[in-house]
């Protein structure tokens, strides 16, 4: 038995190596596309598997579940959901410049609806994919690698004839890096490739005479044309996209805005978010020009209609939509792809350069294979033609041979020992024969009808064609211009068959500027009932309905319409509410749940204090918790821009019982659930930061908790209820903070 060997190593080194291996695996084998075919491994494997299964564009559709299962079992052992998702995206016209898969069934929608389960949908290869991405696989033009369990072989890269990385773009998040490449127009990209092949010194600026900019499947308008040159040179930057907005006249002099194209970044949930944002602009009175908004989009395309009131400022409203919603959005470009086995950020010219190098490599391997095939044909043809000239001798050899081996030896090496000849002349002539192995085999396999005169003529004609092919292929392989012309001719064919018009406009547009409607500042009254429905009314309306308002509402306070309200909850959070976000109207209007305009969640939190944010500027707030902890905090700590902050720190299982404005001249009475009361001066409560827990205010017995906090001025009568008793708080004996308190009798 061999002694086991323990290898000692630094733990950090093992972690470092393992993490780097993992990161590179994700980068190279999962998330990033290859610059040569523009495909991620999952896309490449799915397309190759469909090719192997024979699911061609001219064959019937097959269930996606079959495709996904076969791909996972043979090539991509990473789960069916990632394979199906890749398959779906390759079939979605609104995501890809050119679809690679022809889908049949529900493959999702531009509005974010997901595709049906793979057992319901069907697919087959698109004609473009079969013709341009998978052609010539049988001509040894790419390398094949063993699959994950070495039972199959898969292509290292697909022989794609067009720069798919630019045409279909790419998105992927790896470890520590991400790729985001926009889609481009097939015709423009092909023209740029041809221009580069004719002059490899061409600049990015000159290439952009052909590639105007991104061409998104959703259309839209790229509005920062001048920034595109630096983006295409560096491979990184930001593209600004706007939706296309048209103005339509309606009856009665009214107008409506019709959005027929959207930014590429709005695909999916972004459309619903846009509709909500426009609704919010009208609801919060940011604009009063919008009468109605409706989404009339269908399979025919996007159509979002915004009806305007008569006399609306159309330009100002359009600019508001650009500024306040995702109708104008940014597409972050980072043209990162795997080149030579390494991730690399590349500019436009570099991507085209890699593509052209790849095309020459493919063409070289293809024409070497074709040349070899033609040379083999030439060898056989010449053997058959030579055999026709001495056919009588060959027949004599075959008749005089005892075996195929003897006949073949005579044909190739002139061995006549084991063959019977009719004459010595025939034997001498047979000894001079020197056919090659391949020619001899062809002669042995030849059928008698090949000796017919017409067949011999056809053989000679075929031989001439073979010689022409050999000359052509040798010229292509030995002459750069000839090979370039072949590649360009193929690109022209692809452009003619599959090209389409540009969908995205590229221009320099002015920055969207709109005049925000100035709000007249006024004092109003905030009302919120016990169900959490809030609204604001003007001061006069409150005074007219004061009695009803006071009895029906839990919180009432005066505030400015341009201000903010602070909502403190039992969980120790403070939520801010803009007063303008609340509906302003009549006293009998219902209002809206305060949850709708803040981060406050009425299902998980309870409001313990509500005030005007301006009130806190010069105030100090007392915080008291269920476990009897106290502190006071300067109000300026709550003058923040965030909608939600942690207002205090809480111990485990503790919660805020009370928050109130406190001054040092007040008296504090803490009332526990079990009826203990402790009175002490407010000056004994220490001032802390909002991130502190505080100090103990009252010593509570087991299972007891702080119930209420009373604040009153010295000499002022203040009463509190406990059970059926009424306790006069100002008659309680003054004690020290952190005492147990007393339980009043009788």
What's the pLDDT tens digit per position in 142-159?
999 999 899 999 999 999
Residues 428-453, mean pLDDT to the nearest whole number: 81
Average pLDDT across the chain, whole number: 90
pLDDT at residue 451, rounded to an integer: 66
Q: Residue 374 pLDDT more than 70?
A: yes
For residue 686, CA distances in Å to 561, 663, 736 come to: 34, 12, 13
Tell me the whole-structure pTM to 2 decimals.
0.73
Helix (H) or strand (E) holding 41: helix 41-53
What domains can be seen in the chain, in order of their start residue?
A: 39-159 (3.90.199.10), 244-326 (3.30.1360.40), 523-731 (2.120.10.90)
pLDDT at residue 392, rounded to an integer: 80
Q: Residue 534 pLDDT more than 90?
A: yes
DSSP H helices, 330-436, are 348-389, 391-400, 404-413, 424-431
**More confident of the two residues 23 and 193:** 193
Task: Check if the beta carbon of residue 718 is closer than 8 Å to that of residue 729.
Answer: yes
Q: Residue 659 pLDDT more than 90?
A: yes
At residue 1 the predicted structure's pLDDT band, cuts being 50, 70 and 90, is: very low
For residue 695, CA distances in Å to 666, 677, 723 come to: 18, 18, 28
- Residue of 19, 22, 120, 480 marked catalytic: 120
pLDDT at residue 178, rounded to an integer: 87
Task: Check if the beta carbon of residue 712 is closer than 8 Å to that of residue 667.
Answer: yes
C-alpha–C-alpha distance, residues 337 and 186, integer Å: 19
Judged by average pLDDT, the poorest of 42-51, 456-465, 699-708 is 456-465
Q: What percent of the chain has pLDDT over 70?
A: 97
Task: Check if the beta carbon of residue 156 is closer than 8 Å to that of residue 144.
Answer: yes
Q: Residue 417 pLDDT more than 70?
A: yes
For residue 616, CA distances in Å to 566, 568, 620, 630 come to: 9, 12, 7, 18
Q: Residue 321 pLDDT more than 90?
A: yes
At residue 441 the predicted structure's pLDDT band, cuts being 50, 70 and 90, is: confident
At residue 79 the predicted structure's pLDDT band, cuts being 50, 70 and 90, is: confident
The pair phi, psi for residue 580, each rounded to 5°, is -65, -20
Task: Check if the beta carbon of residue 656 is closer than 8 Å to that of residue 568.
Answer: yes
What size, in residues, is the chain?
Answer: 746
Residues 172-199, mean pLDDT to the nearest whole number: 92
Exposed/middle/buried for 476, CB within 10 Å: 0-12, 13-18, 19+? buried
Residues 712-716, mean pLDDT to the nearest whole number: 86
Q: Residue 243 pLDDT more than 50?
A: yes
Helix (H) or strand (E) holding 533: strand 533-538
Judged by average pLDDT, the poorest of 421-430, 606-615, 657-666 is 421-430
- Is 120 one of the catalytic residues? yes
- How many other CB atoms are found less than 10 A from the CB of residue 206? 14
Q: At CA 579, angle to CA 575 and CA 581, rounded to 5?
A: 90
At residue 282 the predicted structure's pLDDT band, cuts being 50, 70 and 90, is: confident
SS (H, E, C) 598-628: CCCCCCCCCEEEEEEHHHHCCCEEEEEECCC
Cα distance from N-terminal residue to C-terminal residue, the chain:
90
Across 182-196, 310-324, 708-722, which has the greatest mean pLDDT? 182-196
β-pairing, 505-506 vs 221-222, is parallel
The half-sphere exposure of 746 on its side-chain side, counting CA atoms within 13 A, is 0
Q: Which two tokens stand for residue 452?
A: 């017919």
C-alpha–C-alpha distance, residues 435 and 379, integer Å: 10
Q: Which two tokens stand for residue 407?
A: 């006949």
Helix (H, G, I), strand (E, B) or coil at 206: helix
Residues 576-586, mean pLDDT to the nearest whole number: 88
């Amino acid at each position: 038995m061999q002694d086991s060997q323990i290898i000692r190593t630094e733990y950090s080194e093992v972690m470092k190596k393992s993490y780097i291996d993992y990161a590179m695996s994700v980068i190279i084998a999962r998330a990033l596309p290859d610059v040569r075919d523009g495909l991620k491994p999952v896309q490449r494997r799915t397309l190759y598997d469909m090719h192997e299964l024979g699911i061609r564009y001219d064959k019937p559709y097959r269930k996606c579940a079959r495709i996904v299962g076969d791909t996972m079992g043979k090539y991509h052992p990473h789960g069916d959901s990632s394979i199906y998702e890749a398959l779906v995206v390759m079939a979605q016209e609104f995501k890809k410049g050119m679809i690679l898969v022809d889908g049949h069934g529900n493959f999702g929608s531009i509005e974010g609806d997901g595709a049906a389960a793979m057992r319901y949908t069907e697919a087959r290869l698109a004609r473009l994919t079969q013709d341009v991405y998978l052609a010539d696989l049988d001509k040894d033009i790419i390398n094949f690698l063993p699959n994950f369990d070495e039972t199959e072989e898969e292509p290292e890269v697909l022989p794609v004839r067009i720069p798919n990385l630019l045409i279909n773009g790419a998105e992927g998040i790896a470890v520590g890096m991400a790729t985001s490449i926009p889609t481009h127009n097939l015709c423009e990209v092909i023209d740029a490739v041809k221009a580069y092949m004719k002059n490899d010194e061409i600049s990015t600026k000159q290439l952009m005479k052909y590639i105007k900019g991104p061409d998104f499947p959703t259309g839209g308008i790229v509005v920062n044309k001048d920034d595109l040159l630096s983006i295409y040179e560096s491979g990184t930057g930001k593209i600004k996209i706007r939706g296309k907005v048209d103005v339509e006249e309606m009856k009665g002099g009214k107008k409506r805005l019709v959005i027929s194209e959207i930014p590429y970044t709005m695909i999916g949930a972004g459309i619903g978010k846009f509709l909500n944002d426009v609704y919010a602009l009208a609801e919060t009175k940011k604009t009063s020009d919008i009468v109605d908004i409706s989404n009339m989009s269908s399979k025919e395309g996007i159509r979002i209609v915004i009806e305007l009131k008569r006399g609306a400022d159309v330009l100002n409203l359009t600019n508001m939509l650009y500024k306040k919603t995702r109708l104008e959005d940014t597409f972050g470009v980072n043209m990162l792809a795997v080149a030579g086995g390494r991730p690399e950020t590349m500019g436009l010219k570099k991507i085209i350069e890699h593509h052209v190098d790849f095309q020459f490599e493919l063409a070289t391997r293809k024409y070497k294979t074709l040349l070899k095939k033609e040379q083999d044909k030439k060898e056989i043809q010449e053997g058959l033609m030579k055999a026709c000239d001495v056919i009588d001798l060959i027949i004599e050899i075959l008749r005089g041979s005892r075996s195929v081996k003897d006949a073949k030896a005579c044909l190739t090496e002139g061995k006549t020992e084991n063959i019977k000849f009719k004459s010595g002349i025939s034997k001498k002539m047979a000894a001079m024969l020197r056919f090659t192995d391949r020619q001899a085999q062809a002669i042995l396999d030849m059928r008698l009808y090949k000796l017919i005169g017409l067949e011999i003529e056809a053989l000679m004609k075929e031989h001439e064609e073979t010689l022409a092919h050999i000359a052509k292929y040798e010229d292509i392989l030995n002459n750069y211009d000839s090979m370039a012309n072949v590649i360009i001719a193929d690109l022209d064919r692809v452009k003619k068959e599959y090209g389409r018009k540009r969908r995205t406009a590229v221009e320099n547009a002015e920055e969207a500027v709109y005049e925000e409607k100035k709000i007249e500042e006024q004092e109003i009254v905030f009302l919120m009932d016990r169900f959490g429905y809030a609204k604001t009314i003007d001061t006069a309306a409150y005074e007219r309905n004061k009695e009803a308002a006071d009895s029906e509402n839990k919180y009432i306070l005066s505030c400015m319409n341009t201000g903010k309200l602070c909502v403190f909850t039992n969980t120790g959070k403070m939520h801010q509410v803009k007063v303008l976000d609340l509906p302003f109207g009549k006293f009998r209007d219902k209002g809206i749940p305060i949850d709708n305009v803040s981060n406050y969640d009425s299902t998980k939190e309870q409001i313990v204090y509500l005030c005007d944010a301006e009130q806190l500027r010069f105030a100090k707030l007392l915080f008291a918790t269920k476990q009897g902890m106290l502190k006071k905090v300067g109000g300026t700590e709550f003058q923040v821009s965030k909608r939600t902050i942690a207002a205090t720190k809480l111990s485990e299982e503790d919660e805020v019982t009370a928050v109130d404005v406190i001054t040092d001249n007040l008296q504090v009475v803490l009332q526990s659930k079990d009826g203990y009361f402790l009175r002490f001066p407010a000056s004994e409560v220490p001032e802390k930061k909002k991130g502190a827990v505080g100090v103990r205010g009252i010593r509570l017995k087991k299972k007891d908790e702080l119930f209420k906090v009373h604040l009153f001025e010295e000499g002022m009568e203040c009463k509190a209820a406990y059970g059926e008793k009424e306790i006069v708080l100002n008659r309680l004996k003054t004690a020290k903070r952190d005492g147990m308190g007393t339980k009043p009798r009788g």
